[in-house]
Amino acid sequence: DSGVTQTPKHLITATGQRVTLRCSPRSGDLSVYWYQQSLDQGLQFLIQYYNGEERAKGNILERFSAQQFPDLHSELNLSSLELGDSALYFCASSVGEKGEQYFGPGTRLTVT
Amino acid sequence: AQTVTQSQPEMSVQEAETVTLSCTYDTSESDYYLFWYKQPPSRQMILVIRQEAYKQQNATENRFSVNFQKAAKSFSLKISDSQLGDAAMYFCAYRSPSGSARQLTFGSGTQLTVLP
C-alpha cells in the first residue's frame, strides 16, 4: 500500500458524459501527478500540481482538466468522453518536486 | 524531449535464476534520475529501484540491482534468485532533476514471466 488513494476503482460511463476522478496523496506529500495508461499509448503524463498550483502539463486533452484543493487532494475531470478515453488513470504523489513518486491503485475508466 | 526504450516486450526466467531487463534512454541532460517500476496483475505501480545519474555506484535493493552505463545511456535491471511474485510488467522511467519536467517518462514495458 503506497498511501495514495484513488476513487472510484472502476467507472463505466457512456460517450459524451463527464466524470471526476479523485486522488488523495500520501500524508505530507505536496506534489500530485496524473498519468494515463492505455493499450495504444502506454503510460503518459497528463498534469502535475504542487501545493495547489499547476506545475507541468503533458499530453492532456483540452476536454480534461484537473485541480488540487487546499487539503491537497486532487481531482481529474474528463468531459465529452470518447471511446478512446478508456484507460487506467493513475495518480502519484511525492514529498516535493524531487522525491520519488508513489502511485495510487488507479481508476479503471471504461467508456461505452 | 527525453525518450525511453525497452526493446524486450516479453521475457521469461526460471524460478531461482537471474534475469536482466534492458532499457536505453535518450537525453541531452547530464543530471537526471532513472527508475524501475513493477506492475503486477493487480495493476498497482510499485517503485523497485532508483538511480541518480551523478552517482557512479549502481543502485541495489535486495535481489534487484541495476547496471547503469551513463555514456551508453543504458539502464538495465537485474533480478537475482527470481521468485514467482516477481512476475509482472516492468517499466523503466526517466525524470529530469530540475525545471518543469519533473514528471516520469516511461518506456513501453517488459512483461516478465517466472516459470516454476
CA distance B11 to B110: 7
Residues of B in contact with A92 (CB under 8 A): 45, 104
Q: What are phi and psi of A23, to 5 degrees?
A: -135, 135
- At CB < 8 Å, which residues of chain B contact A? 35, 37, 42-47, 50, 91, 97, 100-106, 108-109
Q: In this structure, what DSSP letter does residue A96 have?
A: S
Structure confidence by residue, pLDDT tens digits, B65-115: 999 999 999 999 999 999 999 999 999 999 987 665 678 999 999 999 999
CA distance B89 to B109: 6
Structure confidence by residue, pLDDT tens digits, B16-43: 999 999 999 999 888 899 999 999 999 9
